[in-house]
Amino acid sequence: MLSAILTVPLLHSETPGKTKSGRDLRRITTRSFSSCNTSTTTRLSRFHIWQRSRRGCGIICKAKGSEVAMAQVSIGQVENLEDLVRDLQSVREALEAACREQIAVAEQKCAEAREEAQNSASMLESAIQQEQAATQNVDGAEQALDSSQSSLSSAESALSACLAQPHDDDGRCPDCSGEDSAVAEAEAAVEQAQSMLEQARAELEVAKGDRISMEQRVDLANQAEAMAEHTLEQTLQACNAHLATVDQAIEAGTARLISAQQALDAYLATNPSAAQFHAWLKWDPAKDGRPVTPDMLRDRMNLSSEQRRLLQEYLYDRDPAYRKQVDKLRNQWVAAKGDAERNIVARKARIHLSGEFGEQIVRHALAPLGGRIETQGRTFVGDNGRYTKTDLIVTDLRVPVILGRGEGMGAPVGGSMAFEVKCGKAEYLYSQKDHMIFQAEGHKQADAQCTLCSRDIHDLPEEKQKELRDALREAGSPMVGMLPRKNEIDQSCLDFIRQNEEEQP
């Protein structure tokens, strides 16, 4: 289990916050410890981050030696490494907790076995004493029987002697009633002594059986104690070994992260566009101590073509679902025969990838504003089970945010914002009016809410534009055109789909 966790790819990590690394570690037992092996560290050290574009190179770290070849490395790849190190640290914490739990169980079993061994030894000693007492009782009963039999013999002799006396002068027999009574009493005493001896012998057999059982119990208790101590020793050894393995993996991952960060810093120092994009991602709105205004948000969402390309590469590195979608379209583009088939692929990109890319622009532009950002959150509308999915919900705001004028267009520190994102040309935006009005129902729980759209809305005739804006304002989610135009977003996606083709000599 741990082995599988530690070999998680260093590139293209899971979405942050959804790590699986600590999921089953609390179930680790001594048996499961054996599933881990030291090859984990070797597998971890053999990671490669390969070149992804004309401007992106990689870091190649070898399992043997400390040789590290560093060149340009993308921001997303470094963040993947950061996620990996965090995940490994989470694995260690979970493993350490599981180890503590298993060691405590083993120690408890060891203490119970030790107590049982002590109790069994005490019970054996008692059984031995009882057997000795029973043996003494048998000896005493035998002596009593011998004594009573001797008394009976004496009484019988006395009776015989009495009966052997001659008659008196009157011809009467001698009076032997006393001797006769003595014989009767002696016979009764012998019978009682025999009964007591039989009882003593029976009790001795029981005592012997108890002593034999206690000896067997002591043997079993000693075996159980030895097994418990062995299990505790194995558990301690396994925990120490596998914690050391994880520590080595963390150390290796941290070293590679440091190397990657150094390479990235060197790259950013010589590439202003990449440095600007990095600053855009790492924006700290609380640093200025001022409310965030609509102009600031508009500037963050209107990236240059180069910044959009860098965001595409970042998403490709960081988001497995986005990468899968891009790879699928790239493969279709390469396989397309002629302009007609390429146009079909381009249309798919405009329909599916552009909308996702527009939402990602908004997501990463707004993410620094809050402590938590949720996508496609479900909100039930009415009592009939209908629900709407809100494209973006930003909560726990770090600074006050102003989206525009009017009610519901501002949120305080600690507040929340909800957004619907629409990326499309003018007529498409107009055709989505009813849908956006319905979506607005899911925004009302937030302090501020609006529908963010591409600037194509300005291409609508004035009457239609007013109709659309008024309808959404009345629904509680005013429309704000902050995103780049649909053609710009489409071109960015198409260029990224065709990137491999452009890189070929």
Residue 463 has pLDDT above 50, yes or no: yes
Stretch among 150-154, 226-230, 261-265, 370-374 having the lowest mean pLDDT = 370-374
Please state, as a whole number, how many other Cβ atoms lie within 10 Å of the Cβ of residue 311: 23
- Of 306-310, 320-324, 475-479, which gets the smallest average pLDDT? 475-479
Q: Is the pLDDT of residue 33 over 60?
A: no
Q: Which residue has the tokens 């290796």?
A: 252
User: Phi, psi (5° rounding) for residue 479?
Assistant: -90, 130
pLDDT tops 50 at residue 107: yes
Q: How confident is the model at residue 214 (pLDDT cuts 50, 70, 90)?
A: very high
Alpha helices in 395-461 (DSSP H): 426-431, 433-439
Asked if pLDDT for residue 468 goes beyond 50, the answer is yes
Give Cβ neighbours of residue 158 (< 8 Å, ≥ 6 apart): 179, 182, 183
DSSP H helices, 319-452, are 320-335, 338-348, 354-366, 426-431, 433-439
Most confident of 40-54, 58-72, 177-191: 177-191
Min mean pLDDT across 136-150, 230-244, 304-318, 489-503 is at 489-503
Compute the distance between CA of residue 146 and CA of residue 143 in angstroms, rounded to an integer.
Answer: 5
pLDDT at 1 over 70: no
Under the banding of pLDDT at 50, 70 and 90, the label for residue 198 is very high
C-beta separation of 393 from 374 below 8 A: yes
Q: Name the band, by pLDDT with cuts 50, 70 and 90, for residue 11.
A: very low
pLDDT for res 448 = 85
- Per-residue model confidence (pLDDT) at position 442: 66
Predicted local confidence at residue 488, as pLDDT: 94
Within the chain, which residue ranges are assigned CATH 1.10.287?
A: 1-164+175-270
Q: What pLDDT is stored for residue 172 in this prediction?
A: 80
pLDDT value of residue 288: 81
Average pLDDT value over all residues in the chain = 81
The more confidently predicted of residues 226 and 372 is 226
Name the least confident of 103-112, 165-174, 181-190, 201-210. Answer: 165-174
Residue 384 pLDDT more than 80? Answer: no
DSSP 8-state class, residue 373: E
- 110 confidence band (pLDDT: 50, 70, 90): very high
Predicted pLDDT of residue 420: 86
* Contact indicator for 152, 186 with CB cutoff of 8 Å: yes
Q: What percent of the chain has pLDDT over 70?
A: 81
Q: How many CA atoms within 13 Å lie on the side-chain side of 304?
A: 8
Share of the chain above pLDDT 90, in %: 50
Per-residue pLDDT at 168? 72
Among 165-169, 259-263, 293-297, 335-339, the least confident range: 165-169
Is residue 28 pLDDT above 90, yes or no? no
pLDDT greater at residue 251 or residue 40:
251
Q: Which of 24-38, 61-75, 122-136 has the lowest mean pLDDT?
A: 24-38
Could you give the CA distance from residue 465 to residue 455 in angstroms, rounded to a whole number?
Answer: 12
Residue 332 has pLDDT above 80, yes or no: yes
What pLDDT score was predicted for residue 163? 82
Distance set, CA 160 to CA 124, 155, 175, 180 (Å): 53, 9, 12, 9
pLDDT for the residue numbered 492: 93
CATH number for region 1-164+175-270:
1.10.287
DSSP for 463-499, written as a single string:
HHHHHHHHHHHHHT--EEEEEPPHHHHHHHHHHHHTH
Q: What is d(CA 264, CA 414) in angstroms, rounded to the nearest whole number? A: 34
pLDDT value for 25: 35
